Amino acid sequence: MKKTAIVILSDPQNGGEEALGRAFNGFAAAYDIKQSGGEVSIFFQGTGTRWVSHITKEDHPLHGLYEIIKENIVGVSCGCADVFGSADGAIANGFELIKDNPVPGTSGLPSAGKLLESDTVVLTF
């Protein structure tokens, strides 16, 4: 099985079921891959960086699944967290801010190029 990276982009602040559904399906895919013995990593980017302040709460619908897959979470896009106001929440909840892609004008983002170089399949939710 190839390596898989799951990128959560959906915005929990939009208040709709669609965002929760996308994040849930991203987590469920990570769980499935993990249970199948595959290598999976999870990244939060764009407005998806806002999830980190929600999923860590015990009463959140994704919390139980989060607890099972949290060791597969690589971190949060630093540049996106800066733009969408979620850097403090990421740090407070123990998430790493990823900045290995030094995009000019940002504090850095995760590198899609490095994922593709390592023959990783990238799924977005």
Count of helices and strands (H, E) across the chain: 5, 5
Range of the domain at 62: 4-124
pLDDT below 70 — which residues of the chain?
none
Q: How many domains does the structure of the chain reveal? A: 1
pTM (2 d.p.): 0.94
Q: What CATH number does the domain containing 94 carry?
A: 3.40.1260.10
Q: How far apart are CA 121 and CA 110, in angstroms?
A: 15
CA 103 remoteness from chain centre: 19
Condensed to tens digits (0 to 9), the pLDDT of residues 4-20 reads 999 999 999 987 899 99
pLDDT at residue 1, rounded to an integer: 77
